[in-house]
C-alpha cells in the first residue's frame, strides 16, 4: 500500500472506483439498485466510512442520514462542501452520484499528497435518497437538511412495499425522530461544488471534458391515481367498462403533446396496474408524471394541461382520478460569483469549461437555497444516463478529479 507525506494511504480515483463498482449492481441488467436504507445502501455507507478513515477524514452521519467526511473540521471559516450521492434509480448507471463522491475523495487525496493543507474545513458529502427511487421524493436528504420538506411528512413516506421511511431508518439503526432542518450543520457550510456526470451530450459536442453548471430547470414528479372497476376481459361489454387504463393511456400521450407545445420535457416512466391480470380490466392504475421545463410558468402549464386531459378522459370512461405532488423543485440559478470563480480557476488551469444548464435535479440545487452552490460536469460521450449505458471515459474522470482539486485548492486555500 502506498503512503503519502502524512503516512496516510494514498488513494487513486481508479482504485476507489473499482472498490465501489460491484456494490448494488444487478448482475442481470448490469444496472445499479442502490436504494436508501437497504443492504446495498449499507454497503455503500461502509465503503464511504472506510475511505474516509483511509484518508484520515472524520466521518459522520447527520440527523437526516446524509454522510459527511471532514478534512480539517476544526479549521476556522466556513466549509467547502463537495461530493454528491450514492443511491441510484432502478437499474441506474454507475456514474450518476458516485462519480462526484469518488472524485471528491480522490481530489482530497491528491491535494493532501502534495502537502496542501486547507485553511478552512472541506467536507465530502453523500446525500441520502437523491433519486427518490425508494420513497418518491427526489433529493430527500438535502431537502430535510435545508428544511425544504416537513420531517413528519418525510417520516410517513412509503416505499412500494408499504414500508415507511421511519421504519426503514429504524431497521438501519437510525432514529427518524431526529429528521429535520439542521441549522447548526448548515451554519458550518460556506459553499458547495458538486461534481456530476453530464446527463446529456453537450460537452461531447463542444469537445470539452469538463463543464460548469449555470442552473437547473424547474422540475417535479406527480403521482396520478386512476380508479376504475375490475371485471372480466372476455365477458364485459365495452360499453359497460370503467377501465382506468384508457384515461391513463390518453394521459401519457397528452404529456408528450404538452411537452412539445411548451418546449418542455414530460415522461411517464413508472406505472403499476392493479391487480395486474392479463385477462381482467384493471381496478386501478397508478402512474408517475415527471415534468421539466425551462421556466416555472412552462412547467405549470405542462402539468395543468396534462391534468385537464386526465380529468376529461377519466370522466368519459367513468373513472375517478386524483393526483399528488411528490416533489417539485423550482428553477435554480447557481451563484454567479462562485460560478465565475470556478470557471476562472479552470481556465487558469488550462481547462476552459463551458457553462451549461441542465434538466436534471441535484442536491447542489437544493443547497443553493441556503449557500452559494455550483456544479462541475464531466463529459458523457453518449449522453445516456439513468440507465446501465451511462459512461465517462477514465481520462475524463481523471480530468474531473484534477478540476475539482484545483477548485478546492482555490476555495479552501489561504
Ligand atoms: C435526478 O437525477 C433527476 O433529475 O431525476
Ligand atoms: Mn439521477
Ligand atoms: Mn445524480
Under the banding of pLDDT at 50, 70 and 90, the label for residue 243 is: very high
The pLDDT of residue 414 is 72
Rounded distance from Cα 250 to ligand 3 centre (Å): 31
pLDDT tens column, 395-414 = 999 999 999 999 999 999 97
Rounded distance from Cα 96 to ligand 2 centre (Å): 5
- Candidate of 32, 89, 221 to mutate for ligand 1, largest count of ligand atoms within 8 Å of Cβ: 89
DSSP one-letter string for 116-184: ---SS-EEEEEETTSS-TTTS-TTHHHHHHHTSS-HHHHHH-B-TTS-BHHHHHHHTT--GGG-S--HH
How far is it, in rounded angstroms, from Cα 240 to Cα 402? 65
Instruction: Write out the H or E segment, with its range, that includes residue 250.
Output: helix 245-262
Q: Which residues surround ligand 3, an ion (CB under 5 A)?
A: 96-97
The pLDDT of residue 193 is 98
Rounded distance from Cα 198 to ligand 3 centre (Å): 9
Handedness of CA 304, 92, 162, 60 (dihedral sign): negative
Rounded distance from Cα 386 to ligand 3 centre (Å): 9
pLDDT tens column, 169-181 = 999 999 999 999 9
**Cβ pair 17, 397 in contact under 8 A:** yes
How far is it, in rounded angstroms, from Cα 103 to Cα 105? 6
- Candidate of 36, 131, 269 to mutate for ligand 1, largest count of ligand atoms within 8 Å of Cβ: 131
Ligand 1 atom index nearest CA of 362: 1
Rounded distance from Cα 290 to ligand 1 centre (Å): 10
Rounded distance from Cα 373 to ligand 3 centre (Å): 15
pTM: 0.96
Cα distances from 315 to residues 306, 320, 379, in angstroms, run 14, 7, 47
Residue closest to 87 by CA, chosen among 168, 206, 207: 168
| CB neighbour burial string for 2-32, b if at least 16 within 10 angstroms, e if fewer | eebeeebbbbebeebbeebeebbbeeeeebb
- Candidate of 32, 135, 138 to mutate for ligand 1, largest count of ligand atoms within 8 Å of Cβ: 138
**Cβ pair 46, 149 in contact under 8 A:** no
Least confident of 9-18, 72-81, 317-326: 9-18
Judged by its nearest atom, the ligand closest to the C-alpha of residue 136 is: 1
**Cβ pair 408, 401 in contact under 8 A:** no
pLDDT tens column, 331-362 = 999 999 999 999 999 999 998 999 999 999 99
What residues does 119 pair with on adjacent strands?
none
Helix orientation angle between 98-113 and 13-20, rounded to the nearest 10 degrees: 150
Q: Is 76 exposed, middle or buried (0-12, 13-18, 19+ CB in 10 A)?
A: exposed
Cα distances from 390 to residues 202, 205, 238, 289, 358, in angstroms, run 15, 17, 44, 23, 16
pLDDT at 56 over 90: yes
Q: How many CB atoms lie within 10 A of CB 214?
A: 17
Rounded distance from Cα 52 to ligand 2 centre (Å): 24
Judged by its nearest atom, the ligand closest to the C-alpha of residue 100 is: 3
pLDDT tens column, 289-337 = 999 999 999 999 999 999 999 999 999 999 999 999 999 999 999 999 9
CA angle 106–111–116, rounded 5-degree value: 160
Rounded distance from Cα 88 to ligand 3 centre (Å): 8
Give residues (CB < 6 A) around ligand 1: 131, 138, 360-361
Cell numbers placing 297 = 410558468
**C-alpha 159: how far from its chain's center?**
17
Rounded distance from Cα 81 to ligand 2 centre (Å): 19
Quick check: bond before 231 cis, omega within 30?
no
Residue closest to 125 by CA, chosen among 152, 146, 150, 155: 146
Own/partner long-range contacts of 303-310 (Cβ < 8 Å, ≥24 apart): 303/220, 303/222, 305/254, 305/257, 305/258, 305/261, 305/262, 306/251, 306/254, 306/255, 306/258, 306/266, 309/250, 309/251, 309/254, 309/258, 310/224, 310/226, 310/247, 310/250, 310/251, 310/254
Judged by its nearest atom, the ligand closest to the C-alpha of residue 217 is: 1
**Cβ pair 397, 215 in contact under 8 A:** no
pLDDT tens column, 111-164 = 999 999 999 999 999 999 999 999 999 999 999 999 999 999 999 999 999 999
Instruction: Please give the torsion angle defined by the CA atoms of residues 60, 66, 71 and 72, in that order, rounded to the nearest 10 degrees.
Output: -70
Please state, for a pLDDT cut of 90, what percent of the chain lies above it. 96
Rounded distance from Cα 309 to ligand 3 centre (Å): 32
How far is it, in rounded angstroms, from Cα 194 to Cα 232? 53
pLDDT at 263 over 70: yes
**Cβ pair 397, 103 in contact under 8 A:** yes
Q: How many CB atoms lie within 10 A of CB 233?
A: 13
Judged by its nearest atom, the ligand closest to the C-alpha of residue 86 is: 3
Judged by its nearest atom, the ligand closest to the C-alpha of residue 93 is: 2
How far is it, in rounded angstroms, from Cα 387 to Cα 89? 8
Ligand 1 atom index nearest CA of 292: 4
Residue nearest to atom 1 of ligand 1 (CA): 361
Ligand 1 atom index nearest CA of 360: 4
**Cβ pair 385, 97 in contact under 8 A:** no
- Candidate of 86, 199, 289 to mutate for ligand 1, largest count of ligand atoms within 8 Å of Cβ: 199
- For all residues of the chain together, what is the average pLDDT? 96
Contacts of residue 63, defined as CB under 8 A and 6 or more positions apart, other chains included, come to: 178, 179, 180, 182
Amino acid at each position: 500500500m502506498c503512503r503519502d507525506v502524512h503516512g496516510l494511504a494514498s488513494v487513486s480515483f481508479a482504485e476507489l472506483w473499482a472498490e465501489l463498482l460491484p456494490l448494488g449492481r444487478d448482475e442481470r441488467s448490469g444496472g445499479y439498485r442502490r436504494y436508501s436504507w437497504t443492504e446495498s445502501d449499507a454497503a455503500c455507507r461502509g465503503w464511504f466510512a472506510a475511505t474516509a478513515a483511509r484518508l484520515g477524514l472524520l466521518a459522520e452521519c447527520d440527523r437526516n442520514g446524509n454522510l459527511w467526511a471532514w478534512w480539517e473540521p476544526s479549521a476556522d471559516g466556513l466549509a467547502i462542501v463537495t461530493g454528491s450521492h450514492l443511491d441510484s434509480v432502478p437499474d441506474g448507471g454507475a456514474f450518476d452520484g458516485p462519480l462526484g463522491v469518488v472524485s471528491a475523495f480522490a481530489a482530497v487525496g491528491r491535494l493532501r499528497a502534495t502537502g496542501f493543507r486547507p485553511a478552512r474545513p472541506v467536507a465530502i458529502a453523500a446525500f441520502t435518497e437523491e433519486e427518490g427511487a425508494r420513497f418518491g421524493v427526489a433529493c430527500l436528504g438535502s431537502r430535510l437538511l435545508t428544511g425544504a420538506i416537513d420531517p413528519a411528512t418525510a417520516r410517513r413516506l412509503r416505499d412500494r412495499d408499504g414500508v415507511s421511511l421511519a421504519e426503514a431508518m429504524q431497521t438501519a439503526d437510525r432514529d427518524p425522530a431526529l429528521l429535520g432542518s439542521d441549522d447548526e450543520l448548515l451554519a458550518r457550510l460556506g459553499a458547495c461544488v458538486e461534481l456530476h456526470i453530464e446527463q446529456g451530450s453537450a460537452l461531447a459536442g463542444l469537445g470539452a471534458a469538463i463543464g460548469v453548471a449555470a442552473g437547473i430547470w424547474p422540475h417535479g414528479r406527480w403521482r396520478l391515481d386512476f380508479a376504475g372497476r375490475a371485471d372480466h376481459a372476455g365477458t364485459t361489454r365495452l360499453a359497460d367498462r370503467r377501465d382506468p387504463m384508457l384515461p391513463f393511456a390518453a394521459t401519457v400521450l397528452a404529456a408528450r403533446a404538452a411537452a412539445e407545445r411548451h418546449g418542455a420535457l414530460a415522461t411517464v416512466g413508472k406505472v403499476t396496474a392493479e391487480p395486474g391480470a392479463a385477462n381482467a380490466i384493471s381496478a386501478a392504475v397508478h402512474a408517475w408524471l415527471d415534468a421539466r421545463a425551462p421556466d416555472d410558468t412552462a412547467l405549470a402549464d405542462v402539468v395543468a394541461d396534462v391534468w385537464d386531459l386526465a380529468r376529461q378522459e377519466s370522466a368519459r370512461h367513468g373513472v375517478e382520478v386524483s393526483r399528488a405532488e411528490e416533489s417539485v423543485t423550482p428553477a435554480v440559478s447557481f451563484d454567479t460569483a462562485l460560478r465565475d470563480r470556478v470557471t476562472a480557476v479552470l481556465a487558469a488551469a488550462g481547462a476552459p469549461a463551458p457553462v451549461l444548464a441542465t434538466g436534471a435535479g441535484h442536491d447542489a440545487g437544493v443547497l443553493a437555497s441556503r449557500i452559494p452552490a455550483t456544479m462541475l460536469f464531466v463529459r458523457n460521450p453518449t449522453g445516456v444516463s439513468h440507465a446501465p449505458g451511462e459512461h465517462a471515459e477514465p481520462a475524463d474522470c481523471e480530468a474531473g478529479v484534477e478540476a475539482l482539486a484545483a477548485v478546492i485548492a482555490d476555495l479552501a486555500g489561504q
